[in-house]
Amino acid sequence: MKLKQKSHVIFLFWYLIFVCNRVLGASKNGDGGFRLEEKEEHHVKISDFPKGFIFGAASSSYQVEGGYIEDAKSLSNWDVFCHSVGCGKNRENGDVADYHYHLFLKDIEIMHSLGLKAYRFSISWARILPRGKFGEVNIAGIMFYDKIINNLILKGIEPFVTINHYDFPQELEDRFGSWLNGEMQEHFVHLADTCFKYFGDRVKYWATINEPNLFTNFAYKWGIYPPSRCSKFYGNCHTGNSEVEPLIVMHNMLLAHGKAVELYRQKYKLKQAGLLGIVVNCHTFIPLTESLLDIEAAKRAVLDPLIYGEYPLEMLKYIGSDLPSFSIKEKKIVKNSLDFIGINHYSSFYVKDCTNSTCSPIANRPIQGFLDIVVERDGVLIGEPTGMEDTYVVPNGMEKIVNQIKFRYKNKPMFITENGYSSPDLQEKRVNVVLNDVKRVQFHLEYLEFLAKSIRKGADVRGYFIWSLMDSYEWLTGYNLKFGLYYVDRLTLTRIPKLSARWYKSFLIENTTDLVNIKAYA
């Protein structure tokens, strides 16, 4: 998953193309606030989902692997960043993480014991191509992922592979500025080609890039992710342009995705028969009021380029000439370059228009779409806060975001590639309290209930991945946030099942909700 959000205003960049947020209608009484004591017990079962629906769990390379310089792996952008500035409250980093690089067999046994049908993981670019196109393939890195894929399949678990999840060789940044340079497109295609060549005979689900919207926002607008570029108005950076650089980076990522898909379809599709998509961070945006201006503000974020080959009119209207353009050839490359849409969904927010009302200086800018994000209506929070700052439990947001993507993009197949919960202030609680994660179980039950509802209404959703299999390194928050079904002891790296792991196993294997009466475990 993510990081500690600096403030709710960070989410404003969702406007820039990918967040798939659409107008969801206004309600005067608040939308789906989560209060455990006020909820009925939920009885959603695996049998409420279509035959063949894939249930799994997710992770990413930097967050779980460790082994950061083992077996010829080069330093990644995150290795360098966290070593230089320190990440997390205790200047933590991912050098060890969950030691998945050496404990992956035990982790696959855990997945099998839970009854997972799929595991979503990412490839470390620096592990298989330490110097990008400037060097050779690292066979030790290839062998590592070969072992993961083969052992997953041996256990009946589908490998769902993300080609790039934030991390890449630092050399690409040092040489030419990584995603700010169009050259990065070809390096990414080389990475994708390498993955297809070595793993494609066994991998049938590929996500090209994880959350380009989130990465672009944090790395090139607010400057809190590497390479830490931003304007002084937005953050504490030495260099950058928050109004322009995010547009360039996103444009290069779109084209990199499109070119990778084009390569696969021309070179590998006939033999390998895989499906390719992209993963986007999708918050549900709800108009703060019933005014037309607030309703229009909630529309300013879409997936249009990868479906229709064009930037949406909303973007052109507010960004104008700063928005990069596609050539005729590029339009053909990006158009219809999705077999599925991966949705990472955690929270919902209210949206306020800034074109005709008072907003903060940050919100009232073209790159923001002239909209503001608020989390209260009439003094009431949109939902119960979680451990991740400015993230709230709003279960019906799942149904709403799925339905809106269904309607706008003609029911393109979807996967919920991340959905998860971190309790507030876990660092201050005893281990037995962390293990008794009642609210995490309740969170997944409620979100799954609304997902099942959207599927019954015709949404073509084909899978659901819990973030995450185990507590892992959560970017700028280090190891403080805990999303896992398994607790990881930081001293021994022992994986200890939480109540949520017991519930998920019961849900997946026994098709029961025996643990739904979760208050009995408090």
Which residues participate in catalysis according to the annotation?
A: 211, 418
Q: CA-CA-CA-CA torsion for 427, 433, 436, 437, nearest 10 degrees?
A: -30
- How many Å apart are CA 11 and CA 347, to the nearest integer? 11
Closest by Cα among 71, 188, 201, 187 to 139? 71
CB contact set of 287 (below 8 Å; sequence gap of 6+): 23, 24, 25, 26, 294, 295, 297, 298, 350, 351
β 348-353/284-287 pair status? parallel
- How many Å apart are CA 42 and CA 448, to the nearest integer? 10
- Three-state secondary structure string covering 314-379: HHHHHHHHHCCCCCHHHHHHHCCCCCEEEEECCCEEEEEECCCCCCCCCCCCHHHCCEEEECEECC
CB contact set of 173 (below 8 Å; sequence gap of 6+): 77, 226, 227
- The percent of the chain in helix, strand and coil, each rounded to the nearest 5, is 45, 15, 40
